[in-house]
Structure 1
């Protein structure tokens, strides 16, 4: 029987930490029970491991008592790292032991899965350097600053690379758990768990949940002014040449500074601002797709659809049907 270790952090925890721990324990326990009912042996021995006898959550309202201290776990096969606080700054003393233990276990062959902002703890080990990683879209800017060597794939719901798994934000950790059940048990057990817990088994992206606000905590005041100009005039025809002239910067230098500051090219930034405005219109108004398209500065239906799908993972019509149930779907 394999060993599954669900970590119970004792520092920088957030409200979702507890949800991740309980969710992981519940789903893997049900997967084991499903196997047992079929006359098969359980895949995992499930254990909660922490650095103290009791960890408090939600301002002390709830507590978890880990079954074992992390030092007592000499060998495990799969590690689950729950979400932690989204304003993570550095590995605090209470988490250092967990970070070192994760690194040691991975070297021994353990798989490691982080849920949502648990990626901060995982990245602190160095194991995510030059690897793909997903995280909650609202934590992207802070994560990039702390871990620039990680290949952030925020649009991805799940990443799987060299025995390291990460997932997007919020309660999408449930999708990661179903993914791991399929990987360590089988497809049938994953389908069973997805039905019992009512989780969409084949969801691939979190793009449609992302709210684009633009990275402005970068210190480049000229680029910040350029961003603000784009956000106020996105419905007009704006070229990169026009922007570079307006802010008296050479085209190449403007591109370089813009990418360094925001993580996007000027064109990508403009597209994201346009699509964010289109999303809000589709969510809250009865306007047709064409009306929304023209309002955000597109004249070509095909181009608008392609950019919208690239950013959100779905067509404008699919997005409207999903998020605006009361609007008449007209085209």
Structure 2
């Protein structure tokens, strides 16, 4: 029997505990249904929910999450699944040094003993704090990518990916990737056929490979540089017009070199790269909110050449504009002939 230990602590998302358990339970039931002859086989998967002190934990929602016992790094496990903390500011979570150090030590011991370690969303911070992601590929929630990369520069972060894996460590991206992660564990321990059947029965899309279509490409103006703020406001006001760095610099009465330097310092991007992200973000909002053709969206955000717009949009979001509109739009397109 495959033993999966789900490690929890205060501040997690409760769905990240119940969701994977539902996947493992479904795999057990589907496996039993396939055995048409002979006695009913034993379940493939067994799981335990464990906390640092063996007491129930309080989820971010305030919900009490019961546990089966205390985390013991010496207890055998085939896999450890880390529930993700739900914090807007990860400094608060990373500041819990006593808890973090104990979990890090336990994770290193389990990994050394051969257990598969699996984390999703901000749970990947735990693996990184334990040093287990140094030199390895990992992902995390797209909104935490910049913070994660800054904190853990030795991790090969692939924030666009939904799942990454290697060396006995599985890493999931944004919140509901715990479902994909659980199905991947079913595949690892019980085979591809049962994993596919489990995913299909629970309507889990294992073909989603990128978080990019869900990502917000721009942070708010959260910086203290008034020059760059004026530049951003000018870009927003003149979005449909062609962009020339020289004209923007002249309007701001600074040199192009100064504008480039200040922009990179404040935003982390060159002005042209920021403008591209701004245009795609506005395009996403238009495609989501109203019945509008792709050609019209392209014009509204300043791209006279629709093929250039389509290529850039797909590169930024992993979906074509019409695919994005079909998936996220709240109204249908007026003229279907303008779809790709």
Compute the TM-score of the two structures, normalised by the length of structure 2: 0.83
Aligned to 1:82: 83
Q: 1:314 to 1:190 in 2, by over 3 A?
A: same
Q: 1:83 to 1:316 in 2, by over 3 A?
A: same
User: Which of 162, 168, 174 is 2:167 aligned to?
Assistant: 162
Aligned to 2:119: 114
Paired with 2:133 and 2:261, the residues of 1 have a C-alpha distance of: 26
Paired with 2:105 and 2:274, the residues of 1 have a C-alpha distance of: 38
Q: 1:264 to 1:322 in 2, by over 3 A?
A: same
Q: 1:232 to 1:195 in 2, by over 3 A?
A: same
1:135-284 paired onto structure 2 within 5 Å: 135-214=140-219, 216-217=221-222, 223=228, 226-240=231-245, 248=254, 251=257, 258=263, 262-284=267-289
Q: Which runs of no fewer than 5 residues in structure 1 stay unpaired?
A: none
Q: 1:168 to 1:59 in 2, by over 3 A?
A: closer
- Give how far 1:37 is off: 3.9
Paired with 2:28 and 2:213, the residues of 1 have a C-alpha distance of: 33
1:27-106 paired onto structure 2 within 5 Å: 27-39=23-35, 42-58=43-59, 61-71=62-72, 73-86=74-87, 87-89=89-91, 90-92=94-96, 93-106=98-111
Q: 1:312 to 1:228 in 2, by over 3 A?
A: same
CA RMSD of aligned residues (A): 2.9
Q: More deviation in 37-46 or 67-76?
A: 37-46
Instruction: Confirm or deny: 8 A CA contact 1:226 1:247 kept in the other structure.
Output: no
Q: 1:325 to 1:284 in 2, by over 3 A?
A: closer
Q: 1:3 to 1:95 in 2, by over 3 A?
A: same
CA deviation profile, 1:272-312 (whole Å, cap 9, x unmatched): 11111011111112221111101101111211111111111
Aligned to 2:38: none
Paired with 2:298 and 2:151, the residues of 1 have a C-alpha distance of: 37
CA deviation profile, 1:37-60 (whole Å, cap 9, x unmatched): 444664443222221232332468
Compute the TM-score of the two structures, normalised by the length of structure 1: 0.85
Aligned to 1:304: 309
- Which secondary structure state, in structure 1, belongs to the residue aligned with residue 14 of structure 2? helix
- Which secondary structure state, in structure 1, belongs to the residue aligned with residue 72 of structure 2? helix
The aligned length equals 326
Q: 1:254 to 1:106 in 2, by over 3 A?
A: farther
Q: More deviation in 96-105 or 227-236?
A: 227-236
Instruction: Confirm or deny: 8 A CA contact 2:56 2:66 kept in the other structure.
Output: yes
